[in-house]
Structure 1
Amino acid sequence: MRLLTREAVLAFRRAPLLSALSVTTIAFSLFTLGLFGLVALNLREALRGIEERVEIVAFVLHGTPAETVTLATQDIAAFPEVQRVNYVSEDEALERARRELVEFRDAYRDLQVNPLPASIEVRLREGHRDAGSVERVAERLRGFDFVEDVRFGREWVQKLDHLRNITGVVGGAIGLAFAAVAMVIIGVTIRITLLQRAREIAVMRLVGATKWFIRGPFLLEGALKGLFGGALSLLLCYGGYLLFRDSSEGTLAGLVFFTPAHMLLIVVFGVLLGLGASVLSVGRQLRNV
């Protein structure tokens, strides 16, 4: 193992510029992927706060018996998607309108007849606040005979889903494009190293060295480049995170960074990226050496 490590480290000295280019390319590919990951992570946190306010409102027909509504709310509360159910009577709806709609307070005060219907407000559990789940629960609420109308801001919920999906797809596509470029550059670096050591490899074959003994240093070299690139990408991501957070004058003070598990995943992905490029390049080039 010591010999493999020594040979892998020596490869950096033999081609320092190409090695630096490989590490930098991996770093920037993972940095790009990491930036979109940070955007997606913080967007998810922001959406989680917004989604907590996602509410389905079922308006109740005037004159519906209280017992019917009580039984229905108990039934709705038993839905697996439902977190909380709240019944708002006609009087409570009017009082809320007077309190929250200040510009219409005088108009509501002079009313002889309450025009506002009673309603059942439904909040959903985390994991069931996507457009599909909201639509399914709304459809079940429409099935009650006493429900006049159901509203939940369909377009708004669908836009939240759409925004979340676009962020993930764009980030993944750009990151994979950079990853492909990184693999090509690592492959070129390994290929040049193999050509430089062609005579040495031929001698090792003559004395009976196994193919894995020959390949080992090159594979380790690729893995080390991926490791360094992954670590460098985390530093770049953290620098970008601090820059955005500190330059926002407090408006982005709530930004979050990757968890330790996320950071480990990025580094491991970098190692696999470098190792994969080395495996492809070594396997192809050794046949010609």
Structure 2
Amino acid sequence: MRLVLRETQLSFRRAPVLSALAVTTIAFALFVVGLVGLVALNLQHALNQVEERVEVVAYLVRGTPVEVATVAIGDIEAFPGVESVTYVSEQDALERARQELAEFQDVFDDLATNPLPASLEVRLEPGFRDSENVARIADWLRGFRFAEDIRFGREWVEKLDRLRYIAGIVGLVVGGAFAVASVIIIGTTVRMTVLQRSQEIAIMRLVGATDGFIRRPFLLDGLVKGALGGLTALGLNYAAYSAINQMLRSSFYSARQALLLVGFGTALGLLASALSVGRHLRRVDAE
């Protein structure tokens, strides 16, 4: 193991420019992947915030006693997918309308009677805010005799579902394409390192070194360069996030997600080294 570590250190000393190029290539390749991930992360957060506003509103028949609504609240809250139920009286509905529609204050002042009905606002648990579950809960609420009308904005919820699906597919395709491109770019860079030491590899084969012995320093070299590239990419992503966050409030990776990015860089460096060394050894054997 000490020999392998020494060989890795020597690799950086022998070809500092090539080693720096490999780390920089990995860093910028992962930087792009990381940016795509940040966009996807913040888009998902935005969708989640919009999704939190999804609710089903049951407007009550006029004259429905508060006691009846209170009993119904307990039944509704016990229904799977329901997070909470809020009773809004006729007077509360009018006061809310006055606050939200201040420009129509004169109209409200001229009202002889309150035209707004009482209602039950049903908030849903995460995972039950898609169009199918919302429609299912709305249909169930229609079974209550005092429910005169049920509203939940079907078209708006369905559009939210489609947007979430499209965002997921686009993120997967774009992120996957950049990841594949990263492997190709990193593989080319590592192959340059392998070719630079092709004579050394040939001599090692002549003196009886096994493929595993030859591969080890290259694999560790790729692993170290991948880890350094991943850390550099993480730093660049944070710099980009800090610049954007001053203009547009956004979110950064969690500690676990940051570790995944660095781990991905490490794995890419290891994979690129394994493929490059393996290909070179097969070529040497063929000759």
**Residue identity in the other structure for 1:243:** A
Counting only pairs closer than 5 Å after superposition, residues 90-169 of structure 1 correspond to structure 2 as 90-169=90-169
Give the aligned residue type for 1:120: L
Q: Distance in 1 between matches of 2:165 and 2:29?
A: 21
2:265 matches 1:267: no
Distance change in 2, residues 1:199/1:144 (3 Å): same
2:10 maps to what in 1? 10
Pairing 1:288–2:283 present? yes
Whole-angstrom distance in 2 between the partners of 1:208 and 1:232: 38
Q: Structure 1: which amino acid aligns with 2:282?
A: R
Paired with 1:126 and 1:22, the residues of 2 have a C-alpha distance of 44
Distance 2:39 2:198 in 1: 46
Contact 1:26 1:179 (8 Å CA) reproduced: no
Q: Is the 8 A contact 1:88 1:119 kept in 2?
A: yes
CA distance in structure 1 between the partners assigned to 2:107 and 2:190 by the alignment: 79
Q: Is the 8 A contact 2:22 2:190 kept in 1?
A: no
**What is the DSSP-based 3-state SS (H/G/I as helix, E as strand, rest coil) of the residue aligned with 1:185?**
helix
Answer yes or no: is the 8 Å Cα contact 1:42–1:255 preserved in 2.
Answer: yes
Check 1:148–1:264 CA distance in 2 against 1; reply closer, same or farther (3 A cut): same
Residue 226 of structure 2 is matched in structure 1 by 226
| Paired position in structure 1 for 2:215 | 215
Residue 14 of structure 1 and its aligned partner are, at CA, apart by: 5.0
Contact 2:37 2:175 in 1 (8 A): no
> Structure 1's 184 and 100: CA in aligned 2 closer, same or farther, altered over 3 A?
closer
Structure 2 unaligned runs (5+)? none
Q: Which runs of 5+ in 1 are unaligned?
A: none
Q: Deviations for 1:211-249, whole angstroms, at most 9, x for unmatched residues?
A: 211111111122122112111111111111121223x2x
8 Å contact 1:36–1:168 — kept in the other structure? no
Shift of residue 120, structure 1, vs aligned partner: 0.9
Task: Kindly provide the CA deviation profile for residues 233-273 of structure 1, in whole angstroms up to 9, marking residues without a partner as x.
Answer: 11111111121223x2xxx3x43322222211110010011
Q: Whole-Å Cα distance in 2 between the matches of residues 214 and 194 of structure 1?
A: 11
Q: TM-score, normalised by structure 2?
A: 0.84
Give the C-alpha shift of residue 149 in structure 1: 2.2
Q: 1:9 to 1:95 in 2, by over 3 A?
A: same
Partner residue of 2:253 out of 231, 255, 258: 258
Distance 1:194 1:21, change over 3 A: closer
1:87 is aligned to 87
**2 CA distance for matches of 1:33 and 1:192?**
23
Superposed displacement of residue 35, structure 1: 1.8
| Cα pair 2:219 2:270 within 8 Å, conserved | yes
C-alpha change, 1:268 and 1:223, in structure 2 (3 Å) is same
Identity among equivalent positions (%) equals: 60
Provide the residue aligned with 1:61 in structure 2: 61
Offset of residue 61 of structure 1: 2.6
Q: Distance in 2 between matches of 1:96 and 1:199?
A: 81
Distance in structure 2 (CA, Å) of the matches to 1:92 and 1:241: 42
Q: CA deviation at 1:16?
A: 4.8
